[in-house]
Amino acid sequence: MRDEDVFQRNQRMQLLSKITRTVKFRRLKEKVIESFFFINGSFAVIVLVGIFSLLLIEGFPALQEIGFKEFFLSSNWNPTSPVREAYGILAMVVSTLMVTLGALIIAVPLGIACAAYLADVAGPRTREIVKPVIEILAGIPSVVVGFIGIIVVGPLLSRLFGTSHGLNALNGSLLLAVMALPTIVSISEDAIISVPREFKNASLALGATRWQTLIRVTLPSASSGIIASVMLGMGRAIGETMTVLMATGNAPALPSSFLESVRTMTATIAIELGETVQGGIHYRSLFVIGFVLFIMTFFVNLISDVILEKYQKVNR
Amino acid sequence: MKIRKRNVQQWAGFFILRLAALVIVFILVFILYDIISKGHRVISWEFLLEKPRRGMTEGGIWPAIVGTFWVSLVTIVFSVPIGMFTAIYLNEYARQGRIVRLIRLAIRNLSGVPSIVYGLFGFALFTLYLNLGLSIISTGMTLGLLTLPWTITASEEALKTVPMSYREGALALGATKWQTIRSNVLPYAVPGMLTGTILGLARAAGETAPILFTGVAFFWPILPKFPVNLTQQFMALPYHLFIMSTQHHEIVKVRPLAYGTALVLIVLIIFMNTVAVWIRYRFRKKYKRA
C-alpha cells in the first residue's frame, strides 16, 4: 500500500467517526427533546389525577366523621348551628339537578332548532351573522350573566308571578340556559352538518320536502352528536357557579317548586369556604361537595365523549 | 292540494327554526344593549384610572383593571408553554396508542371540570400546600390550570393546519424531527396558537368562581409596582362586579358603578376575542397565498 492511500484511509476513518459521533449526539438530543415533550404531555393526566386525589384527601376525613348516610341522604345543611351541626347535602344536590333540568328544558329545544337552522336552512350570509353571535354569547362571563339575572330577570319574574323577589330556581334555570346554549348550538350544528349529503339527497329524490328530510332523516342521523352536545351543556350547567350564586336566592332547603329560592352545590362552596376553619369538618365537607361535583361532571362528560367517539367512527 | 299542505308545513317548520335563532340573537343583543346603554354613562377617565373611594360608592376601578392584567399575565406564563409543548407532543411525537388516548381523555375531562372545583384545588394546592398564600401568583396559576385544556386544544388545531408536506420536505433533506418542527412547523403554527391562547385568556379573565379563594380582595388599593410583587392580594374586574351587584351595603347607590364595571369587562373580553379572530383571519389569508 502506498503512503498516500494510507493517509486517505485514515482521513476517511476520522471523518466517519466524527459523523458517527455527531449522529449519536443528535440522536441523544432528539431523545431528550422527545422525553421533554412527553413529560409535558403527561401533565394533563397529572393535573386530573391531582384534582381527584386532593379533593378526596381533603374531604374524606369529614365524610368519615359525618357518615355516608347522613351526608348524602339528609337534606339538613347547617354547619354553623350552635346546637347541633348538620351536614346533609341532599337539598343542594336536588337544587343543582332541578336548576340544571330547568335550563335544559329551555336550552335543548332552542339550541337544536337554532343548530338545525344554521346547518340546514340559513343562507351563508345569515350564518356569518349568527355564528359570531353564538361565539360572543359563549364569551360573556358568567358573572355578567348573573348580573343581568339580578337586575333584569329577577324583577321581571317577580312581576310575572307576583312573588316578593325573583331570585329563584326559575331565574337560575333561565340564566343557565343562556350559558349552555352556545355549547349545544355549536356541537349540534357540527353533528348536523356532518350528516352525509347522500342521506339528504336520497330523501329529497324520493319526493320529501326539505322540512321532512330535516326532521326524519338529517336530525335522526345526527342524534348521537346532538345528545353529546346536550350532555356537554348539562355538564356546564351543573358546574356553573356565579350565575346561580347571584340569581337563585341561596336558601338552603329542599325546593318544592321553581319559584322558590334554591342553593346549589357550587353556590354553597362559593359562599362558605371563606368562612370556614382550615382543616375543620365544615371546611372538609365543602371539599366533599367539590368531589361529588367533580364525579358528576366527570361522568356526564364521559358519556358525551363515548357518544361522540362512536358517532365519529360511524361517520368515517 | 297535498303539495300545498306540505309546503305550508315546511314554511311553518322553518319559521320556528328561524325564530329560535332570532331568540338567541335577541338574548345577546339584549344583554349588550342593557349593559352598554346603562354602563356608558359612568365611563370616564376618572372611572377607569382612579381607585374606589368612600366605601366604594365613588371613584373608579383602576386597581381591578391592574389586578386582572397581572393575573392574566401569570396565567399566560404558566399555561401557554405547557399547553404548547403538550400539543407538540400529541401532534408531532406521539404514536396513537393507549397513552395518547389517556392524555386526550384527561384533557377533555379537565375542560369539563367545574370552575369552582379548580378554585378548591388551587386554594388547597397553591395557597396552602405550596404556601403561596392569598396572592396574584396563586390565582394566576389556578387560572393557568383552568385554561390548560383550551390552550392544548387550540395549539393542536394550529399544528394540524400545517400541511404534512412541510414536514416531509425537511425530513427528506435529513433534518431531525426537532429541526423539522422548529423550522418548518412551529413558524406556521404560532399565529394559530396565539389565537387560541388569547381566546382562552379572554375566558379566564372573566372567571370569578376559581379566584374567589385564592387571593382576590374586596378592596385592595395597593397596586403592584415594579419590581412586581406577585405575592400580594389584588382586585379583579369580575369579582368587583360580583361584590358591587350582590355584597355591597348600598347596592342601589352603586348600581351605576356595577354597570360600568360590567361594560368594561365585556368590552375587554370582546376586544380580546376580536384580536384573536383578526390574527386567525390574517394568518389564513397569508397561508392561502403561500
At B141-196, the pLDDT tens digits run 999 999 999 999 989 888 988 888 888 989 899 888 888 998 889 988 888 888 88
| A253 has pLDDT over 90 | no
Is the backbone peptide bond immediately before B227 cis, with ω within 30 degrees of 0? yes
Q: What is the pLDDT of residue B263?
A: 93
Chain B partners of A213 at a C-beta cutoff of 8 Å? none
Q: What is the pLDDT of residue B273?
A: 87
Closest chain A CA to residue B182: A33
C-alpha grid cell for residue A181? 346554549
A34 to chain B, any CB pair closer than 8 A? The answer is: yes
CATH code for the domain defined by A89-315: 1.10.3720.10
Cβ neighbours of residue B100 closer than 8 Å, sequence gap 6 or more:
B90, B94
List the helix and strand counts (H, then E) for chain A: 15, 2
Q: Which of A24, A147, A148, A153 to mutate to test the interface with B (most CBs of B within 10 A)?
A: A147
> Percentage of chain A with pLDDT > 90?
41
Q: Is residue B240 within 8 Å of residue B261, measured between CB atoms?
A: yes
Domains (range + CATH), chain B: 45-289 (1.10.3720.10)
| B1 has pLDDT over 90 | no
* Averaged confidence pLDDT in chain A: 88
B9 to chain A, any CB pair closer than 8 A? The answer is: yes
Give B 108-137 residues with CB within 8 A of chain A. Answer: 108-110, 112-121, 123-125, 128
B175 to chain A, any CB pair closer than 8 A? The answer is: no
**Exposed/middle/buried for residue B164 (C-beta within 10 Å: 0-12, 13-18, 19+):** exposed
* Averaged confidence pLDDT in chain B: 86
Instruction: State the residue for C-alpha cell 384573536.
Output: B276
| A175 has pLDDT over 60 | yes
A266 to chain B, any CB pair closer than 8 A? The answer is: yes
Q: Is residue B167 within 8 Å of residue B91, measured between CB atoms?
A: no
Determine the residue type at A180. A
Closest chain A CA to residue B94: A38
Closest chain B CA to residue A119: B17
Pick from B10, B31, B152: which is nearest to A209 by CB? B10
> Percentage of chain A with pLDDT > 70?
98
B275 to chain A, any CB pair closer than 8 A? The answer is: no
How many residues in total does chain A contain? 316
Closest chain A CA to residue B95: A38
B245 to chain A, any CB pair closer than 8 A? The answer is: yes
Contact A293 B94 (CB under 8 A): no
- Separation CA A20–CA B39 (nearest Å): 70
Q: What is the pLDDT of residue A316?
A: 46
Q: Which of A27, A28, A40, A266 to mutate to test the interface with B (most CBs of B within 10 A)?
A: A40
| A174 has pLDDT over 90 | yes
Contact A109 B86 (CB under 8 A): no
More confident residue, A204 or A166: A204
Phi, psi of B275 (to 5 degrees): -60, -45
Give A 230-249 residues with CB within 8 A of chain B. Answer: 232, 235-236, 238-242, 245-246
Closest chain A CA to residue B277: A132
Q: Report domain extents, chain A.
A: 3-41, 89-315
Q: What is the pLDDT of residue B143?
A: 93
Contact A305 B209 (CB under 8 A): no
C-alpha grid cell for residue B150? 383550551
Cβ neighbours of residue B230 closer than 8 Å, sequence gap 6 or more:
B70, B74, B135, B136, B137, B140, B224
Residues of B14-29 as b/e, b for ≥16 C-beta within 10 angstroms? beebbebbeebbebbe
Could you tell me which residues are beta bridge partners of residue A115? none
Question: What digits encode the pLDDT tens for the residues A224-240?
Answer: 889 999 999 999 999 99
**Reported confidence tier of residue A315, pLDDT bands at 50, 70, 90:** low
Closest chain A CA to residue B179: A30
Q: Is residue A123 within 8 Å of residue A134, measured between CB atoms?
A: no
Give A 172-191 residues with CB within 8 A of chain B. Answer: 178, 181, 185
Cβ neighbours of residue A299 closer than 8 Å, sequence gap 6 or more:
none
Residue B86 CB: number of other CB atoms within 10 A? 28
Contact A241 B106 (CB under 8 A): no
Which range is least confidently modeled, A32-46, A248-262, A280-294?
A248-262
B36 to chain A, any CB pair closer than 8 A? The answer is: no
Chain B partners of A118 at a C-beta cutoff of 8 Å? 21
Closest CA to A212 of B4, B21, B6: B6
**Exposed/middle/buried for residue B100 (C-beta within 10 Å: 0-12, 13-18, 19+):** middle
Is the backbone peptide bond immediately before B224 cis, with ω within 30 degrees of 0? no
- Separation CA B182–CA B190 (nearest Å): 11
Cβ neighbours of residue A81 closer than 8 Å, sequence gap 6 or more:
none
- Separation CA B86–CA B75 (nearest Å): 16
Q: Is residue B213 within 8 Å of residue B127, measured between CB atoms?
A: yes
Opening angle at CA B44, ends B41 and B46, nearest 5 = 130
Q: What is the mean pLDDT of residues A278-298?
A: 91
Q: What is the pLDDT of residue A312?
A: 66
Are β-strands B52-53 and A77-78 bridged in parallel, bridged antiparallel, or unpaired?
unpaired
